[in-house]
Amino acid sequence: MPLGARTIDGVVEGLADEPSGEAGELKAVIEDTGRAVPDALLDLAVWIAEGTASTVARALALVVTPPPPKRRLKDTVVSVQADVAVTLTDAQREAAAAIAAARDDGAHELLLHGVTGSGKTEVYLRAIEQELAAGRGAIVLVPEIALTPQTAARFQARFGETVAVLHSGLTPARRGEAHRRIAAGEARVVVGARSAVFAAVPRLGMIVVDEEHDASYKHESDPRYDARRVAAKRARLEGAIVIFGSATPRPESWQGIARRVALPARVGGPLPAVEVVDLRRDGGYPLSRPLRDALGRIDDEGGRAILLQNRRGSAAAIHCRSCGRGWRCPRCDVSLSLHGSTWLRCHHCGHRERAPRACPTCGSVDLTRIGSGTAAVEQELAERFPRLTVLRLDADVAGRAGEPDATLQAFREAQSAVLVGTQLVAKGHDVPGVTLAAVLDAETGMAMPDFRAEERTFALLTQLAGRPGRPGDPRGRVLIQSWEPASRVVELAARHAVEPFLDGELKRRRALRYPPFARLVRVLVTAPEPEAAEGIAALLADTAGPVLHGDQLLGPAPLFRLRDRSRSHLLVKTADPRPAAAVFRGLLRDLAPDLRRAEATAVVDVDPQSFG
């Protein structure tokens, strides 16, 4: 349709016999693209706009499918593994039956929680088989693009060409072709990352949200939707059911989903034994004596090990021992991390500068490295165990062409190998023959100023602790290195005690009125100067406070400078975030001229997943 001098795509929201108001002369539609948006997705877009303080136009952009390719695409060669006949365990049979019963009862949500390796994927497959047999379709969501090929391979092996894969790594033509197949009913099972929740699957019957605890399901740009909440809303709109699956469910899901189904035991054997190493006594950080001994056995006997160090680079920072100078990013109020021996880098804005040979302040060459990152661990492993294949998987590696598949494939093929990396190594990669998993520093994530810090640390430790000794390989040992081994998080993760952790976490959050006992709305203000950011945030708080009846407003509070922008934020705890979001959206609309003059920005984030 024409819009000024441009030609744009539009969405028909409704029909009328006569134009309303002073519409003026109506312009003719140039072309019908044939890409219909189902009514349920139109309603979903409006719901997202209202719930995220966004606009309907931006929300509609999520559900409008891309155009199909103009010419036939070359067939891609996809290696699909043969489907293996699986005999369900008693627990899996009971879980599949419980899902079928929930479907018959008209339930829209079910939580499938089970230990790592308990066979949740096979339960998903059986449930989707029932949906397909009834003439319905399904969507399977995974939290990371890196996990999409692995998950898609399982579903393609079972369901063949009726599976479509969606993720942001596809070319526009491939994405358009996938959406064409979905709309035409040729692909009735969709596997993909967060945005696949909007796939226009005809007669949608089931949505699976795998690893539902993962924060990657939250979209961090406008509209700031949470794919888990979107899945639940879409299921209600279309009469479908959502299966939320995780070995470590979120407290929100544990409290809020009435139907729970458990897979309490691992398929093929017990969970591996977990040993907590007290770094105050065993020393040798990052490779303590028990860890060196365990790696030595792999060096002698073969096997694979996964080491988690949730900090990339060679060192978190460098300091001068003589005068105490540190090196900080000129654009962000954070320390620069050492990468290799040559470069200092900022992990927020990408700034980099050469690492100094001597302190420019006092001239001393006595520069010390603080903390140990994945690159430093990789180097130390290669020096101590030259016969082992040492691989690294972190954001620096994953951003390269062909990664992370190339690193994971090399790890699978090596006879004796160690994979060291950040949280990427704990996220659902099924690799046979892993006999050792180790967390090098259990406290890394718990120092974050975030009420979810303990939850995420517990999930990370527990997920990694389930990697060794997968089905078919009963061997397995887990080491958790900790500076505070008696802490609640470490102690419960070492026992794989998910339910006691969740019960304690819910008790703490109830007392502090954090989710699931309240919803959060965050407003983040940025500006070139701190006075502008803090002044606008204070004005928003002073204006909104009196009309947020019954809500608790915290802040504003300053944040560290990021990418040459000073920042300040405020937080609202509320039973219903929509009124608060609407209040702030209206205030920001009124303050638009002031924001422009101050070169400031302000965003409203409902259900924020990070506070940095």
Q: What is the mean pLDDT of residues 92-112?
A: 97
580 lies in which domain range?
519-606
Last residue of a domain, one of 485, 510, 535: 510
> What distance in Å separates the CA atoms of residue 119 and residue 88, rounded to the nearest whole number?
9
CATH code for the domain in which residue 450 is found: 3.40.50.300
**pLDDT tens across 364-376, in order?**
999 998 888 999 9
**Predicted pLDDT of residue 163:** 95
**Same domain (yes/no): 599, 552:** yes
Task: Report pLDDT digits (tens) over 424-447.
Answer: 888 767 777 899 999 999 988 887
Q: What is the Cα–Cα distance from 472 to 450, expressed in whole angstroms?
A: 39
Same domain assignment for residues 226 and 282: no
257 within domain boundaries = yes
- Confirm whether 410 is domain-assigned: yes
The candidate with the shortest Cα–Cα distance to 255, out of 120, 109, 446, 141, is 109
Q: Kindly state whether residue 343 falls inside one of the protein's structural domains.
A: no
Would you place residue 77 in the very low, low, confident or very high pLDDT band (cuts 50, 70, 90)?
Answer: low
329: left (phi over 0), alpha (psi -120 to 50) or beta: beta
Q: What is the pLDDT of residue 145?
A: 77
Specify the DSSP class assigned to residue 497.
-
Whether residue 279 sits in one domain with residue 188: no
Q: How do residues 181-196 score in pLDDT, each as one tens digit?
A: 999 999 999 999 999 9
Q: Are residues 234 and 216 in the same domain?
A: yes
Domain count within the chain: 3
Per-residue confidence (pLDDT) for residue 468, from 0 to 100: 84
**Residue 13 forms part of a structural domain:** no
Kindly state whether residue 197 falls inside one of the protein's structural domains.
Answer: yes
Residues 540 and 438 in one domain: no
606 or 4, which is more confident? 606
Q: Are residues 101 and 239 in the same domain?
A: yes
Render pLDDT for 516-566 as a digit per residue (tens, 0 to 9). Answer: 999 999 999 999 999 999 999 999 999 999 999 889 999 999 999 999 999
Residue 84: both structure tokens together: 């293996």
pLDDT in tens, 324-365: 999 999 999 899 999 988 899 998 889 999 999 999 999 999
Q: Is 496 left (phi over 0), alpha (psi -120 to 50) or beta?
A: left
Q: Are residues 231 and 302 in the same domain?
A: no
> How large is the average pLDDT for residues 143-149?
77
Residue 350 region by backbone torsions, left for phi larger than 0, else alpha for psi between -120 and 50, else beta: left
Q: Please say if the pLDDT value at position 245 is more than 60.
A: yes
Mean pLDDT of the chain: 91
pLDDT digits (tens, 9 = 90+) for 25-76: 777 788 877 778 899 999 999 999 999 999 999 999 999 988 888 888 876 6
Residue 454: what pLDDT?
A: 95
If asked whether residues 425 and 296 sit together in one domain, one would say yes
Residue 370, strand partner residues: 317
Q: Is residue 336 part of a domain?
A: no
State whether 584 and 497 are in the same domain.
no
Q: What is the mean pLDDT of residues 460-468?
A: 89
Q: Tell me, what's the pLDDT at 493?
A: 95
401-420 pLDDT, tens digit each: 888 888 988 999 999 999 99
> pTM to 2 decimals?
0.92
Higher pLDDT, 226 or 86: 226
pLDDT band at 133 (very low <50, low <70, confident <90, very high): very high
Alpha helix segments (H runs only) across 466-565:
488-494, 498-512, 530-544
User: Would 364 be classed as within a structural domain?
Assistant: no
β-bridge mates for residue 454, sequence order: none
The mean pLDDT of 311-317, rounded to a whole number, is 87
Whether residues 399 and 502 share a domain: the answer is: yes
Tokens of 594: 């002031």
User: Higher-confidence residue: 597 or 10?
Assistant: 597
What 3 state SS string does 373-397 have? CHHHHHHHHHHHCCCCEEEEECHHH
pLDDT at 6: 84
Higher-pLDDT residue of 29 and 180 is 180
Q: Lowest-pLDDT range, 34-43, 109-118, 143-152, 327-336?
A: 143-152
Q: Is residue 200 within 8 Å of residue 37, measured between CB atoms?
A: yes
- Residue 421, Cβ density class (10 Å: 0-12 exposed, 13-18 middle, ≥19 buried): buried
Indicate if 201 and 300 belong to the same structural domain.
no
pLDDT over 70 for what percent of the chain? Answer: 97
- The whole-angstrom separation of Cα 576 and Cα 51 is 10
Is position 330 within any domain? no
Q: Are 504 and 408 members of one domain?
A: yes
Q: What CATH number is associated with residue 526?
A: 3.30.70.600
| End residue of a domain, out of 510, 533, 552 | 510
Domain end marker among 510, 535, 567: 510
DSSP code of residue 143:
S
Amino acid at position 600, single letter: A
Question: What confidence score (pLDDT) does residue 403 get?
Answer: 83
